[in-house]
Chain A
Amino acid sequence: MNTSAQPHNRKVSFGAVLVAEIAKLHRSLVVLLSAAVPGFVLAVSLVVTAKQGADLATLGSSTAGFWAFAMMPLGITALSVLLAQIEHGSRGWDHMLALPGVAERIFIAKGLIMWLVSGVWAATLLIGMFIQINLTELVNPDLFTGVADYSLLSGLLFKMWLASFLLGIIQLFVALWFRSFVVPLALGIGGTFAAIATAGSYEGMYFPWLMPLSMLRSDSAEAEFSLWIGVIGGIALLLLMQAVMQRKRW
């Protein structure tokens, strides 16, 4: 150990904070959640198609719809709670924020982790569907009709992921602000149920919990509007969250 009297003045990089945030997920419940969320969608899709078969052209959009409507918002709710509780549960905020340069970066890093993990879910779902459809066709070639358009499905899942940014940051902001997991959980479940009630409405494209589902709107202008609101709103809220949270007294 160095015993010099010089104070430590190394600057922490954003990359280092991001890598540290990823390292915190190791062996955490986020790993289990990441298997469970896309896994549940795939399981539901398998159960439905195994009994009655499906047209592969519509299977993609119906699976993506279920993903965007229910499992993605609920998964993001659970993810936000887990990401926040890693810090709340360990009472680690003081230690973390006292490290030079960390307070100015950590909340943006957490927001990006949130988004990246939900992106991994979307990718897992796409790969899982590819494997599931091909394996099912091997076992029962007559089960499916039509041709699966993976290019269309991947584009749809990608847009849904982008549009979910605002929803994800809202959930994370609330989960970080409140030490209790009850508030973000109630918000996420409430938001998802409110999305069910407003799903068919024009105003739904303004509702963060419906923005991923809006990618399935027949009016492409409305879908695009939702996408941009989701992305730009998410970035703006992420920056606001960083500014507000680094001043919060824990």
Chain B
Amino acid sequence: MHCLSTHQLTKRFGDHVAVDAVTLAVPTRAIYGFLGANGAGKSTTLRMVLGLLKPDSGTISYLGNDLSSGPRPLIGAVTDSRGGALYDHLTAEENLRLTCRLIGSPASGIAKALEMVDLSASGNKRVGAFSTGMRQRLAIARALLGNPRLIILDEPLNGLDPSGIRQMRALLRMLVGELGITLIVCSHLLDEVELIADHVGLMHEGRLIHQSSLKQLLKDRSRLIIQTDFQDRKKLATALAPLGSSCDIGPDETFVVNDPTSDGAPEAANRLTAMGARIFRLEQDTAKLEDIYHEYIRAAA
């Protein structure tokens, strides 16, 4: 079962179609990287999921329940990347207590939430004195109150220093791994998304142009690049084709094995050596999410 799914979700503002028949499928207990340029429709989609906007058409299903009927469930949200949407004049605990009151959750969960985000020692400090990283972690602690099964995070890594990014990455993985929470992470930091996401969805001009497992996406785009003195290309293709999904001739007379198997590189070396070929170059070209993202955007444009 998907934690969250939408079907043909559409939102118009006047003549502008901000979200155009988006059908999302966010698996449970996973990090879903929701990517796209500014104005691509990510925020509008997620605002509809959070109940902040009403869809013009389409459905949203959360844990199998249609969100258009019945009471709205609690979905955690970290909506402001700059300051976590926290009250600076209150302490961390007071900020969390406010949310507990509003969602009818016992205040006993506050200490646990602060501990999870490593802010136990700062519970009595005013949020105005917090660093960006601390604010982001406190906003996550707040989103954890009431035990939501889904948390939506808008640019959680923005403005963090390298150690803050590392800490946040570990925290997000912990939420999924230990608590079984599903996370939707909107981010422009594609390298970071590549490190944390299990699935990705790419939005462009209101449309979802791709969604899949990130691992599969990267694997589909990886290649083995081989340069050899072996002249019989047909024989070469016959020997190396089983090591990937297809073979091509690349630039500079290179031979390319697309989507190679996990032991593709050493196996190719073995086979080439057995054929008596001299290997000038054998390179595993791992695809980057950033390149794939731009490739999809170019194709969609």
For the complex formed, measure the closest distance between the CB of B200 and the CB atoms of chain A, giving whole angstroms.
23
Report how far A16 CA is from B107 CA in the complex, Å.
Answer: 13
Q: Is A155 an interface residue (CB 8 A)?
A: no
Q: Is A151 an interface residue (CB 8 A)?
A: no
Consensus secondary structure, chain A interface: loop
Report how far A249 CA is from B47 CA in the complex, Å.
Answer: 10
Contact with A along B91-108 (1 / 0, CB 8 A): 000100111011111000
Report how far A10 CA is from B139 CA in the complex, Å.
Answer: 21
B71, A23: Cβ atoms under 8 Å? Answer: no
Closest to B77 in A: A98
Kindly identify, within residues 88 to 141 of chain A, every residue whose CB is under 8 Å from any CB belonging to chain B: 89-103
Q: Is B179 an interface residue (CB 8 A)?
A: yes
Closest to B98 in A: A20
With known contacts A1-B179, A26-B90, A90-B83, A8–B74 Cβ distance under 8 A: yes
Residues from chain A with Cβ under 8 Å of B144 in the complex: 1
Interface size class, chain A: 35 or more
Residues from chain B with Cβ under 8 Å of A217 in the complex: none
B148, A27: Cβ atoms under 8 Å? Answer: no
With known contacts A28-B89, A98-B51, A9–B71 Cβ distance under 8 A: yes
Q: Which of A3, A86, A91, A99 contacts B179 (CB 8 A)?
A: A3
Q: Is B147 an interface residue (CB 8 A)?
A: yes
Contact with B along A19-52 (1 / 0, CB 8 A): 1100110111000000000000000000000000
Q: Is B242 an interface residue (CB 8 A)?
A: no
Interface size class, chain B: 35 or more
Q: Which of A4, A90, A102 contacts B147 (CB 8 A)?
A: A4
Report how far A3 CA is from B81 CA in the complex, Å.
Answer: 26
A93, A98, A103 — most chain B CB neighbours (10 Å): A98
B47, B98, B148, B179 — most chain A CB neighbours (10 Å): B98
For the complex formed, measure the closest distance between the CB of B93 and the CB atoms of chain A, giving whole angstroms.
11
Closest to A99 in B: B102
Residues from chain B with Cβ under 8 Å of A13 in the complex: 104
B53, A99: Cβ atoms under 8 Å? Answer: no
Closest to A97 in B: B52
Q: Is B292 an interface residue (CB 8 A)?
A: no
A249, B53: Cβ atoms under 8 Å? Answer: yes
For the complex formed, measure the closest distance between the CB of A99 and the CB atoms of chain B, giving whole angstroms.
5
Q: Is A152 an interface residue (CB 8 A)?
A: no
Residues from chain B with Cβ under 8 Å of A16 in the complex: 101-102, 104
Report how far A96 CA is from B51 CA in the complex, Å.
Answer: 11
Residues from chain B with Cβ under 8 Å of A4 in the complex: 147
Report how far A239 CA is from B208 CA in the complex, Å.
Answer: 39
A-B contacts besides A7-B63, A95-B85, 9 pairs, CB < 8 Å? A7-B65, A8-B105, A8-B148, A9-B73, A23-B98, A95-B139, A98-B79, A100-B51, A250-B52
Mark A residues whose CB is within 8 Å of B. 1-13, 16-17, 19-20, 23-24, 26-28, 86, 89-103, 249-250
Q: Could you write out 10 A-B pairs with CB less than 8 Å apart?
A: A1-B109, A2-B147, A7-B73, A11-B71, A23-B97, A89-B88, A91-B85, A92-B87, A96-B102, A100-B71
